[in-house]
Amino acid sequence: MMLGTLVNTGAIACGSVLGSLLKKGIKAQYQAALYTAMGLAAAGLGVNAIVQNMPKSTFPVLFILSLALGSLVGAAADLDGRYARVSAHLPGKNLGQGLCTGVLLFCIGTLSILGPIQSALYGDNTYLFTNATLDFVTSTVLASTYGIGMGLAAPILFLWQGGIYLLAGVLSPFLTDALMVEVSIVGGFLILSSGLSILNIKDCKTLNLLPSLLVPPVYFALRLLF
C-alpha cells in the first residue's frame, strides 16, 4: 500500500485548499508582493540545492552538459510553448507558472525520489511523511498566491511517486548517491530558473530545460554498460 505517497498527495491537496481560502482574504494590492516572495523563495531553494550538492559532485561538468543538451531537446520539442498554450486555458492569473514551480519543488528532490523506494522495499514512510509536511506548507503558500488550481499538482505527484514505488525493485540499485547528487544539482538550476521567471528577471523557459534531468541517469547508465 502506498501509504506515504497517499499522505504526501493529500498534504498537497489540503494545502492547496487552505491556501486558496487564505487568498480570498488578501487584497489585490498585496498580490505583487506575494509573487515577489514566491520568486525569491524558489530562487533561494534552487541556489541552496546547487550549493549543497555541487561540492559532492565527482563529475563537475556533467551539470553543464545536462543543461546544454536538455535545453536543446526541450527547445526542439517546444515544451514551454506547448505548456503555455495548455495553461492559457487554466483559471487564475499565472497559474501555469505556479504549477510549473510547484511540481518542480514537490517532485525533484531526494525525499520525493528515494521516499517511494524506501516505502516499497522496507515499508518505511519516514521520508514521505517528512516530504508531506514540507509540501503541505509549500502548497499552502503557493495556493495563497496562485489559487486552488495548485491542487492539480497533487495527482502529478501521485503519478510520479506511484511510478517510482511500482518500479522500486528495478530503480533501487541504480539510484546511487552520486546520481542523486547530479540530479539535485540540475534540479536546483531548474528551480532557480523558475524563480527568475517569476521575478521577471529572465524568462528562462524552464520547461524547455526539463529534459536536462534525464541526462545524468542516461550518463550513469552508459557508464554501467561500458
Q: What pLDDT digit, counting tens, does each position of 33-52 carry?
A: 888 998 999 999 999 999 99
pLDDT band at 99 (very low <50, low <70, confident <90, very high): very high
Q: What pLDDT does 52 receive?
A: 95
Task: Write out pLDDT tens, residues 60-76.
Answer: 899 999 999 999 999 99
- pLDDT class for 31, splitting at 50, 70, 90? confident
pLDDT at 224: 83
Q: How far is CA 22 from CA 49, 152, 181, 214, in A?
A: 29, 18, 36, 37
d(CA 164, CA 2): 11
- Could you report the per-residue pLDDT of 140-166, keeping only the tens digit for each? 999 998 999 999 999 999 999 999 999
Q: How many CB atoms lie within 10 A of CB 88?
A: 9
Query: Which residue's entry shows cell 524552464?
Result: 206
Give the model's pLDDT for residue 226.
Answer: 81
Question: Over the Cα atoms of the chain, what is R_g?
Answer: 17
Query: Under a CB-based contact definition with an 8 Å cutoff, are residues 189 and 50 in contact?
Result: yes
Q: Each residue of 162-213: pLDDT tens digit?
A: 999 999 988 888 889 999 999 999 999 999 999 999 999 999 999 999 999 9
Give the C-alpha separation, 76 to 67, whole Å. 14
What is the average pLDDT score of the chain?
A: 92
Helix (H, G, I), strand (E, B) or coil at 226: coil
Give the distance from CA 99 to its chain's centroid: 9
Contacts of 147 (CB under 8 A, 6+ apart): 20, 23, 91, 92, 95
